[in-house]
Amino acid sequence: MVNTSKAIVLSAIKYGDSDLIVKCFTEIGLRSYMVRNIFKSKKGKLTPAFFIPLTQLEITANYITGRSLHYISDARIYYPYQTLMIDIKKQAIAIFISEVLNNILREDEENRPLFKYLENAFKWLDSQDHTADFHLVFLKNLMHFLGIFPQNNRDAKRYLYFDLLNGVYTDQVVSNYFISDQNLKNFNKLSETDFDQIDNLNFNKRMRLDLLEILIQYLELHLSYFKRPKSLEILKTIF
């Protein structure tokens, strides 16, 4: 079946001398594609630049039931980024996020709300100047779609601790994984913030690093298949 849909590139791996295997999150779910002769053909419509992580494409492909790899017949960049591919700091964020999404997204089923969130989040990142806390808000929002966002967070400020293992606010420590004091205040502030209020966060580098580590640990505790991103250390040096 031939289908045309929007897609966000997650990864691209060279296969042999001339082919490319591309993994995308699309409007119809997670899909992998084989792009033939992309490194050999100089006159083809498709180039490797189409498949840089987080590129937003419109892909036409032939989908055959039972196959894990599909073949792209046509593609175009439907949202050309203005800064995301040339700004060093934004590129560090993009590499980190694409690695996180490669780890987390496992289902082939359609999830249009998640796709719309990713689409708009990356457009926002591309259009803004102050993005030091983007990855924190992005991960926090992503947890909503994964179904692991903390419980009873509406009354968060009245509790002394947040239990990372059980995902609840509490006044009693019941596990070895918890946050309190300033880390808890910053976590609560992050929990209440979306992209349009991101300038209100005002986190310094130490706060940002602590929160990033908390979010990564939370993902590790709640998603057994989640692996700590290799690009994490690079992100920490920049932000």
Beta bridge partners, 180, equal 161
Residue 71, SS3? strand
Separation in Å, CA 107 to CA 29, 159, 174: 7, 35, 33
Which domains are present in the chain? 2-79 (2.40.50.140), 88-238 (1.20.1440)
**pLDDT confidence band for 77 (50 / 70 / 90):** very high
pLDDT digits (tens, 9 = 90+) for 102-146: 999 987 889 999 999 999 999 999 999 999 999 999 999 999 999
Apex 40 CA angle, 24 and 83, nearest 5: 45
Q: Angle, to 10 degrees, between the axis of helix 181-191 and the axis of helix 205-222? A: 80
Note the pLDDT of residue 230. 96
| Runs of H (alpha helix) within the chain | 88-104, 112-127, 134-146, 181-191, 205-222, 232-238
Q: How far apart are CA 191 and CA 149, in angstroms?
A: 9
| Token pair 């590139």: residue | 9
pLDDT digits (tens, 9 = 90+) for 59-75: 999 888 888 899 998 99
| Token pair 């929160």: residue | 211
Q: Which residues neighbour 123 within 8 Å (Cβ) at sequence distance 6 or greater? A: 56, 79
- % of the chain exceeding 90 in pLDDT: 82
Note the pLDDT of residue 232. 97
pLDDT digits (tens, 9 = 90+) for 190-230: 999 999 999 999 999 999 999 999 999 999 999 999 999 99
pLDDT at position 152 over 70: no
